[in-house]
Structure 1
Amino acid sequence: MMLDSRLVVDRGAFRLDIALSVAPGEVVALLGPNGAGKTTALRALAGLQPMDEGHIRLGTDDLTALPPERRPIGVVFQDYLLFPHLSALDNVAFGPRRHGVRRQEARATALDWLTRVGLADQAAKRPRQLSGGQAQRVALARALAVHPRLLLLDEPLAALDARTRLDTRAELQRHLTAHPGATVLVTHDPLDALVLADRLVIVEDGRVVQEGDAATVTARPRTDYVARLVGLNLYRGRAHGHRVTLNNLTLSVDDQQDGEVFVAFRPSAVALYAEKPTGSPRNIWAATIAGIQRHGDNLRIELAGPIAAAADVTPAAAAQLDLAPGRTVWAAVKATETHAYPA
């Protein structure tokens, strides 16, 4: 692995302790809720956050004790941190100049990178004259102009509006694909992670709780945070064949398992009834409506009962069933709609 690291930062009430490896040309996304430790990990890699234990190695080079300016790293900060008194060209040329490149050569390199990100015609403008998307691309060009072996991106799209974010995400993906070094992307936006990253590392409370490619993580979530992220109901129980016992309910499942397992199913798989349904075999339980909210074109119904669950129904179905908070309904999920896998 090009990047091999263990990052330990102890703040008393909060402790970050994660191992992180990234191959050349690979983009790894650190994904997790606010306060999980993602930015702390990124700052530790950059040398901006002292570590209490651990190591950071890039190939055969040990960066652990090196100051930030001596690390072969490029960083794009969430707020970009462009120098307000410098033009876009000179912002990008700053890195090469700090590495000893002569002014004329550094400016030529900067113009080349501004051309690559489609901003050659904005080279003379200062940051305040640029749009959010343009400023993000200048920051990316500045980070890449030093040919970093490790590129660090801290919420690089968070400051953009929805339309600019869409266009800039596509542009960023193109440049990350071409980057030969390792890349670590910090984000709390699952779409950014799914589009930009080759591998996801989920961080909660300062530790890695799950990692893998997007298909694996989204199909088999292992925490409530990941389940909510991908829109699944998730439970942990004990399986005996095609039956899984939870705390207060036993579910029939499609997969045959034994031992500790996770069970997941989509809110769209949950059917609601005013009366207890009969007919084809399914999992049925009485539930109380705890909340109703808009969810795209449907309504997301939050259910309390032997298990907490989310169900998606159309507005027409909600009106027909006269759904309202506090009302008791029957919830049903077919075994074929469930997915069980080892915990």
Structure 2
Amino acid sequence: MSTRPTHTPPAVRQTTAEGLDAHLVVARGDFRLDLRLAAAPGEVVALLGPNGAGKTTALRALAGLTPLTAGSLRLDGRALEDPERRIATPPEVRPVGVVFQDYLLFPHLTALDNVAFGPRCHGLSKAEARAEAADWLARMGLEAHTGAKPRRLSGGQAQRVALARALATRPRLLLLDEPLAALDARTRLGIRAQLRRHLADFEAVAVLVTHDPLDAMVLADRLVVVEHGRVVQEGTPAEVSRRPRTDYIASLVGLNLYQGRADGHTVTLDGGTAITTTEDLTGPVFVAFPPSAVTLHRDRPDTSARNVWRAEVTGLESHGDQIRVELTGELPLLADLTTVAVAELGLQPGRTVWATLKAAQTHAYPA
């Protein structure tokens, strides 16, 4: 963003820029969240994970809506919550902005007054709050909609109003809960690009919760993958995509993933199946390759490919402009084929085929 708001509410002004340092521990019945999360100012972190992994619980804990059972939460060097020290800052006075999945705009207020609500709560006069709100709406390209109430806004416009409302209080931590989930596919494409630009200009920490890998890859600087309440992998989008460490992550980024033991260029899986790779490794490893790297044949082929397996088709489904074929056998795997190739092979559930994979198309790395 090219300019900053004229007014800085005293309640949210910070003197340090140390970012987020959190150890979130929340125990609820049989579920326990135990998540360490740190981020520098200007960094966008995406929390990814299957349903029930603990993403929303973590977001609510950061917002102060769900109390910590143990651990601590520090923002810019200030302790916001620490059960052991009996520190618990109420949500309304934390320097935190939240964009909820359904936006939760006040239906009786105009876009301008929705955005002005936060600055008003932080002590600005009505005129000052409205001036700041108008500035934020202008940054979002919504100058023509300041007087519109939520019911008259499109999904993309409502999302931008919600983001402006969250940013208008100058938060030191911005939380986004599935911010694009309520949008249709066409609107989502444009709003995702706009949101990326706004986040790139945001000078504090942003934490995004999403189940959509594309949202995470485009919007975040770093991915934190959570399963069963714990971090199973984190890194840049490129690192996580290239070296997935769980089946969930492999499925998320569209890869076949196996774990075995390497001896040179051969990786032997637990069931005894061997995969030939180009990497020369020793010890426990993962092997990954995309479904598009798998070729299917009616009969055992005479091929230079180092990996050849007999398989049985168990399912077919559309996947973009291709057909994803699910196979079982000595190596369960996925293959992506064109509709023409599927027709020529006569593929259907129960059909036996031969699968081939070149060693050069695999990627092996230490487990």
Q: Normalised by the size of structure 2, how large is the TM-score?
A: 0.92
What is the percent sequence identity of the aligned residues?
Answer: 66
CA RMSD of aligned residues (A): 1.0
Q: Does 215-224 or 271-280 show the bigger shift?
A: 271-280
Q: Which runs of 4+ in 1 moved over 3 A?
A: none
Corresponding residue of 2:249: 226
The question of 1:239 aligning with 2:262 is answered: yes
1:282 maps to which of 306, 319, 333 = 306
The equivalent of 1:11 in structure 2 is 28
Question: How far apart, CA to CA, are the structure 2 residues paired with 1:222 and 1:234?
Answer: 8
Matched, 1:146 2:142: no
Task: Give a deviation string over 1:74-98, Cα, whole Å, max 9, x none.
Answer: 1101111111111111111110111
Paired letter, 1:24: P
Q: Which amino acid aligns with 2:40?
A: A
* Counterpart in the other structure of 1:168: 191
Could you say what secondary structure the match of 1:216 adopts? helix
Aligned residue among 298, 307, 326 for 1:302: 326
Check if 1:83 corresponds to 2:106. yes
Q: What whole-Å deviation, never above 9, does each CA across 1:203-255 have from its counterpart, x for those lacking one?
A: 11111111100110101111111111111100000001111000230111111
Q: By how many angstroms is 1:292 displaced? A: 1.0
Alignment deviations for residues 160-210 of structure 1 (CA, whole Å, 9 cap, x no partner): 111111111111111111110000011111111111111111111111111
Q: 1:28 aligns with which of 25, 42, 45?
A: 45
Q: Does 1:194 align with 2:217?
A: yes
For this pair of structures, how many residues does the alignment match?
A: 343
Identify which of 56, 59, 76 aligns with 2:76: 59
**Structure 1 residue 278: deviation in Å?**
2.3
- 1:110 has 2:133 as partner: yes
Which of 54, 67, 75 aligns to 1:50? It is 67
Q: Match for 2:335: what amino acid?
A: A
Describe the SS at the equivalent of 1:63.
strand
Q: Distance in 1 between matches of 2:204 and 2:148?
A: 29
Q: CA deviation at 1:297?
A: 2.1
Distance 2:183 2:339 in 1: 32
Structure 2 unaligned blocks of 5 or more: 1-17, 82-87
What amino acid does structure 2 have at the position aligned with 1:141? A
What residue is the counterpart of 1:261 in the other structure?
285
The CA deviation at 1:264 is 0.5
For residue 77 of structure 2, what is the amino acid of its counterpart?
T
Map 1:292-331; keep pairs closer than 5 Å. Answer: 292-331=316-355
User: Residue type of the partner of 1:17?
Assistant: D
| Alpha-carbon separation, structure 1, partners of 2:62 and 2:231 | 16
Amino acid corresponding to residue 163 of structure 1 in structure 2:
R
Provide the secondary structure at the position in 2 that maps to 1:54. strand
